[in-house]
Structure 1
Amino acid sequence: MNKRTGTRTGTGTSTSALALAAVLTLTATACGDDGQGAAGDKGGEGSGKGEITFWDNNTAVRHDIWKKIIGDFEKANPDIKVKYVGVPAESVQSKYDTAIQGGGLPDVGGVGAAMLAGIAAQGALEPLDERLDGSALDDELNTGMVDSVRAAGGGSRLYTVPTSASNGVLYYRTDLFEAAGLDAPTTWSKFYEAADRLTDQKANRFGYTIRGGEGSIAQALDAMYGQSGIGSFWDGDRTTVNHPKNVAALKKYAALYKKATPSADLNNDFTKMNAQWDNGRIGMLSHNLGSYADHVKALGEDKFRGLPNPTTDAGVRVQVSNPVDGLGLFRSSKNKKAAWKFIEFAASHASNSKWNESAGAIPANTRAAKDPWVKKAEPTELAAAALNSGSTKIVQLPYYLPDWNTISKAENEPDFQKVLLGKASAEDFLDNLAEQLNEAQAEWQKQNR
């Protein structure tokens, strides 16, 4: 039992299953009641015709590309209509939880690995193994991404069809760096030097923008492990988040707030943070591959670059895993035949390539991953090269814990803001986070013996 949330952890995955996901191979992130029932409703196969409802789990930045894919699907399948419902990323978890309890689940929905375990544990998702076995997609999906979402959902069944992976990227303004005579921020030492030298508060210019609002914990963990060089989230049954090296790293990182960053960063989620960086007064931004296309639109290709996480001065690169995104078929759907057709179409070569080119992410469809645009998108190409180099350490976050999304968001985002404001210490914050994680891990292990 989680003392703070009052919820119990559910099924998880084995260490060996997690190991498969640990090397995530980048070969080559308004809901209405549509009449569906709650999680206990088993739904039905339906006629394969009629209307289905699709929830986009990140409408703020992917609305347009999904509308194009839906248009293509309806043209190819005139007997099926797709009702698009856009849900903001920051509220999608609560929307799903509310619908699971009270009804109104969609037929198909975007379900990232970070929230997958909690939704699957409530019995809301249809296992997809048998459907995939008879599908043309079976031989086209990146096996590393399939292993990752299978592990996140519990390790035995597949509850989503993976669509993309998006790793952390440090974007920097090449024009500002050149004007200041700075080297590219390839190491953490160079990163901190640039953050300091590019800041001129009187001129409203800053070296960095730090994420203090929704989604801040994952970014802070990425910066923390990247600096400490610690390559595993667990040391036996205990988390490494409050290791002294991580405490020191977080303290240094959080000290950037208001010194080398705008004060508005305290409440900025990724949308506001990215928009702020695109205005041209900030030197560096940590996000992921998903915002690359937006930066190109705002700045052009010549004013910025996107690099993998900086290395330590010793040349060690550590990155925290980013959750694989995917599409889930909800158990309560009354028209699963039509819903599965939509998932197959969305994850097919052409559609998956269109979606990921728009998002700047790595396609789950292996044919799409070989398309020319992948090599033209430098951050995507560099991220794949870094992860496939054999030298990058990947810290695999425990997405398999049903409590993970709650712990890493609602439970601790307000406390991280206190660290930024100097009202709480990095050590106390990480000790509290570690206590929650160790408890969730112990409960998961107890239930999976």
Structure 2
Amino acid sequence: MTIDLSRPTRRQVLAGSAALGAALGAGLAGVGPAAAAVDWKRHAGTTLEVNLIKSPRGDTLQKYQKEFEELTGIKVNSEQTPEQQQRQKAVIELTSGRPSFDVIHISYHVQKRQFEKAGWLADLGPFLKNPELTDPSLTESDFATAGLDFARDRNGRFGGLPFSVDYWIVYWNKELFAAKGLEFPRTFDELVKAAETLTDADKGIYGFVARGAKNANTPVWSSFMLGYGKSAIGPDGALQTDSPEAIEAAALYQRLMTRSAPRGVVGFNWAECQSAFLQGRIGMWFDGVGFAPPLENPQKSRVVGKVGYSVVPKGPVVQAAPTFGDGIGVTEASAKKEAAYLYCQWAISKEMGARLLQAGGGVPFRNSVLNDPDIRKGVTMPPSWIDAVAESGPVSQLCLPVIVPVTEFRDVFGVGLTNLIGGGDPAAEMKKATEAFRPVLARSEAP
């Protein structure tokens, strides 16, 4: 049965909304079940400013914000901003030393190293060890390894709490596949063949869509690269973006986007891809698992009940689920750190994680959410969606390099990928982009 999350009692909130608990930092092992309950009202009367990324995660936090306010007596002013603008705003304000927000929703896969190096996030270690601020019901093992790796810096310091993991999956139109007598592809080669078989431009049907806009397009290519057994930066810290495997991944991107994607795809970000898929004229869409809910909404979608959700097909070398993640943290400049921490704690609670998962808006990093049979039964998405989530975990790999200039990485290689859609040569474009980015990376890593 579905867990009733609509009207939680205070006891449920204290149990389920409890924060990142006992062992999330060194020295927390001694915090046990007998510890005092969190004093949620200790900062009643405070007003917090919260900076969120426009996303299903941000929607969920705003939808239930009033419950946090009632629990704590803290007033929350939250704002959602599209991710590119949000990142720019964050850098400008945090660099000034006087940000207008106390809490910030961050994309670990883009902002982790930048925020760590600049010291923009408060150290949450002391809060995590305080039983009056942190419920002891959680242990470190409740969080997926990727979440902990994202949240910790190189010194083991927690600069944020792991919020949601975003695996990239393939959304596919079962009706279009059936009409052509096709099965879902299990390899990259089969993916290409299926995309081209499904495409009928005269009827406005296209076999594949993914992000084509500069910057947004880079994760599509780097995702394909994982299937060739390479990541953008090797274990030795050297760029691998002009390797034979990277060039093959670029050629795969070019073929799919020029032979099987809709006209104008060079301007598509995720929203345009989603909109095209919703119309029922796209065979496959490759993007994050958290973009699923509108597909099953009869008010927005023409493909309700017709969508398949699958882990990424196997590449020539390995099957890899591209992995991204976001977190939520307290700004170092905030004068309201404890109150802000309470908000972050509530945001990543089991209750909020259950809501996110059940609505299909994201995948919490918490094992206690993913493994709870009652929560899984309450997932409103089709069973194949949660199956795709479960199957992605064991083959997950970080998609983007964890570096400070990740935005520049996406920009530089995004130009090359845009040129590919215009007919550029994959080897020439990847080599040119690699040479352009190499000094940028070197400067960022200099002492």
The TM-score with structure 2 as length reference comes to 0.80
Deviates more, 1:437-446 or 1:189-198: 437-446
| Contact kept? 1:165, 1:361, Cα under 8 Å | yes
What is the aligned partner in structure 1 of residue 149 from structure 2?
A: 148
What is the aligned partner in structure 2 of residue 318 from structure 1?
A: 320
Cα distance 1:299–1:264, how it changes in 2: closer, same or farther (>3 A)? same
* Secondary structure, counterpart of 1:368 in structure 2: helix
- Deviation of 1:125 after TM superposition, in Å, equals 1.1
Partner Cα separation in structure 2 for residue 182 and residue 238 of structure 1 = 41
Q: Is 1:105 aligned to 2:105, yes or no? A: no
Deviates more, 1:208-217 or 1:373-382: 373-382
* Per-residue deviation, residues 166-219 of structure 1 (Å, max 9, x unmatched): 111011111110110011122112211111111111111111113111521011
Q: How does 1:265-344 map to 2 (within 5 A)?
A: 265-297=265-297, 298-299=301-302, 302-312=305-315, 316-320=318-322, 322-344=323-345
What is the aligned partner in structure 1 of residue 393 from structure 2?
A: 387
Structure 2 unmatched ranges of 5 or more? 1-41
Q: Report the residue type matching 2:320 in the other structure.
A: V
Indicate the structure whose relative CO is greater, using CA pairs within 8 Å and at least 6 residues apart: 1
* Secondary structure, counterpart of 1:166 in structure 2: strand
What is the aligned partner in structure 2 of residue 29 from structure 1?
A: none
Aligned partner of 1:85 among 79, 82, 104: 79
- Deviation of 1:330 after TM superposition, in Å, equals 0.6
- Deviation of 1:394 after TM superposition, in Å, equals 2.8
Cα distance 1:235–1:65, how it changes in 2: closer, same or farther (>3 A)? closer
* Secondary structure, counterpart of 2:324 in structure 1: coil
Q: Is 1:364 aligned to 2:332, yes or no? A: no
What is the aligned partner in structure 1 of residue 347 from structure 2?
A: 346
* Secondary structure, counterpart of 2:64 in structure 1: helix
The TM-score with structure 1 as length reference comes to 0.79
What is the aligned partner in structure 1 of residue 66 from structure 2?
A: 71
* Per-residue deviation, residues 17-72 of structure 1 (Å, max 9, x unmatched): xxxxxxxxxxxxxxxxxxxxxxxxxxxxx95532101111125x445422222111
Partner Cα separation in structure 1 for residue 331 and residue 369 of structure 2 = 26
Partner Cα separation in structure 2 for residue 95 and residue 303 of structure 1 = 39
- Deviation of 1:231 after TM superposition, in Å, equals 6.5
Cα distance 1:393–1:121, how it changes in 2: closer, same or farther (>3 A)? closer
Q: How does 1:35-74 map to 2 (within 5 A)?
A: 47=43, 49-59=45-55, 61-74=56-69
What is the aligned partner in structure 2 of residue 157 from structure 1?
A: 157
Partner Cα separation in structure 2 for residue 405 and residue 419 of structure 1 = 20
Aligned partner of 2:400 among 385, 393, 397: 397
* Per-residue deviation, residues 67-116 of structure 1 (Å, max 9, x unmatched): 22211111212x21100111111211101011123433311110111212
* Secondary structure, counterpart of 2:208 in structure 1: strand
Partner Cα separation in structure 2 for residue 87 and residue 393 of structure 1 = 28
Partner Cα separation in structure 2 for residue 178 and residue 373 of structure 1 = 32
Partner Cα separation in structure 2 for residue 373 and residue 195 of structure 1 = 35
What is the aligned partner in structure 2 of residue 14 from structure 1?
A: none
Deviates more, 1:335-344 or 1:117-126: 117-126
Partner Cα separation in structure 1 for residue 43 and residue 393 of structure 2 = 44
- Deviation of 1:258 after TM superposition, in Å, equals 3.9
Q: Report the residue type matching 1:312 in the other structure.
A: G
Aligned length: 390
Q: How does 1:19-38 map to 2 (within 5 A)?
A: none
| Contact kept? 1:53, 1:83, Cα under 8 Å | yes
| Contact kept? 1:237, 1:442, Cα under 8 Å | no
- Deviation of 1:156 after TM superposition, in Å, equals 3.2
* Secondary structure, counterpart of 2:257 in structure 1: coil
* Per-residue deviation, residues 284-310 of structure 1 (Å, max 9, x unmatched): 000011112222222566311111111
| Contact kept? 2:232, 2:241, Cα under 8 Å | no
Deviates more, 1:165-174 or 1:376-385: 376-385
| Contact kept? 2:50, 2:78, Cα under 8 Å | yes
Q: How does 1:404-419 map to 2 (within 5 A)?
A: 404-408=406-410, 410-419=411-420
| Contact kept? 2:49, 2:101, Cα under 8 Å | yes
- Deviation of 1:438 after TM superposition, in Å, equals 4.5
* Per-residue deviation, residues 339-378 of structure 1 (Å, max 9, x unmatched): 1111111111111221333344321233222234446542
| Contact kept? 1:232, 1:394, Cα under 8 Å | no
Partner Cα separation in structure 1 for residue 193 and residue 419 of structure 2 = 25
Deviates more, 1:243-252 or 1:109-118: 243-252
Deviates more, 1:276-285 or 1:413-422: 413-422
Structure 1 unmatched ranges of 5 or more? 1-45
Partner Cα separation in structure 2 for residue 230 and residue 433 of structure 1 = 17
* Secondary structure, counterpart of 2:292 in structure 1: helix
| Contact kept? 1:65, 1:358, Cα under 8 Å | no
